[in-house]
């Protein structure tokens, strides 16, 4: 290992190659918490975007903030890249290692304190999302952001990706539910952002941290907003003959001023997948689409909203409407929905999730176009998505062993991104840009806008050691990708729809 490959200056140069570098890390975090053997680092070579892989030089697992700070300062001095990692459930290659860099797993930092009086929780970055609501439940409180990966994904990863979920249509994304954070920047500074209240003086750096994909700093602690658990909850499950009618129900519910706590659309293929996972629910797999609509609040409000939603369903010719009032029934319904993707990941040879956002009113048209593009490219597309947020998750099933099929799937994913942009949407929803969608950033943003992103990044991480090569493409990369800036609402290709 040459000094050149690993860095040019400081502590590392003084050490003796890779061994010396690892020894220094072991001195900081303890010998058990630096993994460097091939078998030890293999589990970290990808995140949930399985087809992109890179083995890291080492994985370091600090146990507290001081160790995070010390590792970061050491790596900054030696110019060693750090890829932060939570549970590694990112679907965009955000947690994928970079060549010659290390992975910093923050999973050991699991301290969680529920401050019921303040309706807040103080969580280490390695706390799993679902644990916050579980621990808050005895106090009558819950943490609203609930990604489908919530059983595994961590608060650090949720903040870095600004994760969304079923209940974000009413309660907002992660950014709306974090009131403070401690962050170690790439410059080796410790910042305390926010202060526990909803508004703060100065520039809103806390919001900037949400969705920054590990490029600006390492989240070492977060103060989360907890909400009072609603008095009552009802889930309506309506089956329709087509997915278009299902999407139309979403548009009409929102237009009627009703504010559901969750609005999820499933098409026929995802109903079939969910049925395979939960046969006891006897889902209508003959239906073209289904809408899960959760209503919460006071009983009287739920009764009123149920009448209004039911009348919308009736007007649209719903095949069947079911109500789930007790917790066990609701849990089963949501589990069926949340397990569509894991079930597809288990059963299909290869799966790719094309995550993007479109204006809610355009959902049905965009869906039509996406299904048409899928047929054209002979790729199977399954739809199960957070319709209330306009967050489309087209799941592409393909078999990379069949020559040409992966290329067709990736071309389809690009066409879906461009369709979303043409409809006035964005190239990524809640899954981030990571490694996967750098070229999409070149389509969505102008050179000036990308320059501003780079400038902001340089303030936090002057040496560019945090998650380099992710999320913000350089202009050079955009030129390599061969595409620059499609103005939203403009047609990138002649065959795309105009909205
Ligand atoms: C089956 C499945 C369902 C999913 N459903 C949803 C969903 O409904 N909604 C949704 O939003 N996402 C969803 N995701 C995507 C993913 O779970 C989320 O993006 C999640 O927030 C990632 O958390 P993680 O702990 O796994 O982070 P990782 O995957 O480990 O990392 C994600 C990003 O965060 C950075 N990072 C991690 N920890 C830190 C830290 N402490 N400080 C700074 N940066 C950090 C990483 O470098 C990386 O860029 C799903 C994924 C799967 C596999």
> What pLDDT score does 1 carry?
31
- Among the atoms of ligand 1, which is closest to the Cα of residue 183? 42
Q: Is 70 exceeded by the pLDDT of residue 497?
A: no
Listed in sequence order, the DSSP H helices in 256-378 are 268-277, 299-315, 327-338, 340-347, 363-376
Residues 146 and 87 grouped into a single domain: no
Judged by DSSP in three states, 111 sits in coil
Nearby residues of 313 by Cβ (< 8 Å), 6 or more positions away: 236, 238, 249, 291, 321
Residue 469 near ligand 1, beta carbon < 6 Å: no
> What pLDDT score does 9 carry?
40
What's the CA-to-centroid distance between 56 and ligand 1, angstroms? Answer: 19
374 within domain boundaries: yes
423 within domain boundaries: yes
- Among the atoms of ligand 1, which is closest to the Cα of residue 160? 34
Sign of CA dihedral 395, 401, 404, 407: positive
End residue of a domain, out of 105, 123, 143: 105
Residue 95 near ligand 1, beta carbon < 6 Å: yes
Q: Is 90 exceeded by the pLDDT of residue 278?
A: no
First-to-final CA distance of the chain: 55
Residues 183 and 200 grouped into a single domain: yes
pLDDT tens for each residue of 33-65: 999 999 999 999 999 998 889 999 999 999 999
Average pLDDT, integer, range 457-473: 96
Which residue range is the domain that position 43 belongs to? 3-105
What's the CA-to-centroid distance between 89 and ligand 1, angstroms? Answer: 5
> What pLDDT score does 197 carry?
73
Residue with the smallest CA separation from ligand 1 atom 9 is: 147
What's the CA-to-centroid distance between 257 and ligand 1, angstroms? Answer: 32
What's the CA-to-centroid distance between 423 and ligand 1, angstroms? Answer: 27
Distances (CA, A) of 445 to 200, 419, 457: 29, 16, 16
Nearby residues of 228 by Cβ (< 8 Å), 6 or more positions away: 119, 140, 141
Residue with the smallest CA separation from ligand 1 atom 11 is: 163
CB atoms within 10 A of CB 32: 8
- Among the atoms of ligand 1, which is closest to the Cα of residue 213? 49
What's the CA-to-centroid distance between 421 and ligand 1, angstroms? Answer: 23
Q: Where are the beta strands (DSSP E) in 365-481?
A: 380-386, 391-398
pLDDT tens for each residue of 206-229: 999 999 999 999 999 999 999 999
pTM of the model: 0.91
- Among the atoms of ligand 1, which is closest to the Cα of residue 466? 47
CA dist., res. 263 & res. 154, Å (int): 24
Q: How many structural domains are present in the chain?
A: 4
- H/E stretch holding 194 reads strand 190-194
If pLDDT is split at 50, 70 and 90, which confidence band does 26 have? very high
Among 89, 387, 465, 471, the mutation site with the greatest number of ligand 1 atoms within 8 A of its Cβ is: 89
> What are the φ/ψ torsions at residue 455 (nearest 5 degrees)?
-65, -45
Nearby residues of 245 by Cβ (< 8 Å), 6 or more positions away: 288, 289, 316, 317, 318
pLDDT tens for each residue of 138-172: 999 999 999 989 999 999 999 999 999 889 999 99
Q: Is 50 exceeded by the pLDDT of residue 15?
A: no
Among 64, 84, 351, the mutation site with the greatest number of ligand 1 atoms within 8 A of its Cβ is: 84
The CATH number covering residue 88 comes to 3.30.43.10
> What pLDDT score does 496 carry?
36
> What pLDDT score does 487 carry?
53
Residues 319 and 390 grouped into a single domain: no
Residue 466 near ligand 1, beta carbon < 6 Å: no
What's the CA-to-centroid distance between 288 and ligand 1, angstroms? Answer: 31
453 within domain boundaries: yes
Residues 90 and 122 grouped into a single domain: no
Q: Output the average pLDDT for the chain.
A: 90
End residue of a domain, out of 78, 105, 132: 105
Distances (CA, A) of 15 to 1, 154, 300: 12, 34, 69
pLDDT tens for each residue of 297-320: 999 999 999 999 999 999 999 999
487 within domain boundaries: no
Among 65, 147, 206, the mutation site with the greatest number of ligand 1 atoms within 8 A of its Cβ is: 147
CA dist., res. 27 & res. 7, Å (int): 19
> What pLDDT score does 332 carry?
85
The CATH number covering residue 288 comes to 3.30.70.3450
């Amino acid at each position: 290992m040459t000094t050149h490959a690993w860095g040019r200056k400081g502590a590392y140069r003084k050490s003796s190659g890779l061994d010396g570098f690892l020894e220094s890390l072991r001195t900081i975090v303890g010998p058990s918490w630096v993994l460097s053997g091939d078998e030890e680092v293999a589990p970290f070579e990808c995140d949930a975007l399985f087809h992109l892989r890179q083995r890291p030089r080492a994985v370091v697992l600090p146990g507290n903030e001081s160790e995070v700070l010390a590792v970061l300062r050491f790596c900054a001095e030696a110019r060693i890249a750090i890829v932060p990692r939570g549970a590694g459930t990112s679907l965009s290659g955000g947690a994928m290692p970079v060549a010659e860099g290390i992975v910093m797993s923050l999973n050991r930092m699991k301290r969680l304190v529920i401050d019921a009086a303040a309706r807040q929780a103080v969580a280490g970055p390695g706390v799993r999302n679902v644990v916050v609501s579980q621990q808050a439940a005895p106090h009558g409180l819950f943490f609203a952001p609930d990604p489908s990966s919530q059983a595994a994904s961590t608060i650090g990863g949720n903040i870095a990706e600004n994760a969304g979920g079923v209940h974000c249509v009413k309660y907002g994304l992660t950014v709306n539910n974090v009131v403070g954070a401690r962050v170690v920047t790439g410059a080796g500074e410790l910042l305390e952002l926010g202060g526990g209240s909803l508004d703060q003086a100065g520039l809103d750096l806390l919001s900037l941290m949400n969705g920054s994909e590990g490029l600006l700093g390492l989240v070492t602690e977060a103060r989360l907003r907890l909400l009072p658990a609603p008095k009552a909850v009802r889930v309506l499950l309506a089956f329709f003959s087509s997915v278009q009618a299902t999407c139309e129900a979403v548009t009409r519910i929102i237009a009627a001023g009703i504010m559901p706590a969750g609005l999820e659309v499933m098409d026929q293929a995802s109903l079939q997948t969910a049925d395979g996972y939960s046969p006891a629910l006897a889902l209508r797999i003959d239906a073209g689409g289904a809408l899960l609509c959760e209503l919460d609040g006071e009983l009287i409000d739920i009764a009123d909203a149920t009448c209004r939603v039911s009348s919308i369903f009736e007007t649209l010719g719903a095949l069947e409407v079911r109500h789930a009032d007790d917790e066990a029934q609701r849990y089963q319904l949501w589990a069926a929905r949340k397990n569509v993707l894991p079930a597809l990941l288990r059963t299909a040879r290869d799966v790719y999730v094309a995550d993007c956002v479109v204006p809610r009113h355009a959902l049905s048209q965009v869906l039509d176009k996406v299904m048409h593009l899928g047929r054209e490219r002979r790729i199977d597309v399954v739809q199960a998505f957070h319709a209330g947020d306009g967050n489309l998750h087209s799941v592409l099933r393909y078999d990379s062993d069949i020559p040409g099929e992966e290329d067709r799937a990736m071309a389809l994913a690009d066409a879906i991104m461009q369709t979303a942009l043409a409809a006035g949407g964005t190239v990524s929803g809640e899954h981030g840009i990571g490694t996967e969608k750098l070229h999409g950033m070149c389509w969505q943003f102008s050179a000036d806008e990308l320059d501003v992103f780079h400038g902001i990044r340089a303030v936090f991480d002057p040496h560019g050691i945090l998650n380099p090569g992710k999320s913000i493409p350089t202009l050079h990369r955009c030129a390599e990708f061969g595409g620059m800036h499609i103005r939203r609402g403009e047609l990138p290709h002649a065959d795309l729809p105009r909205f």
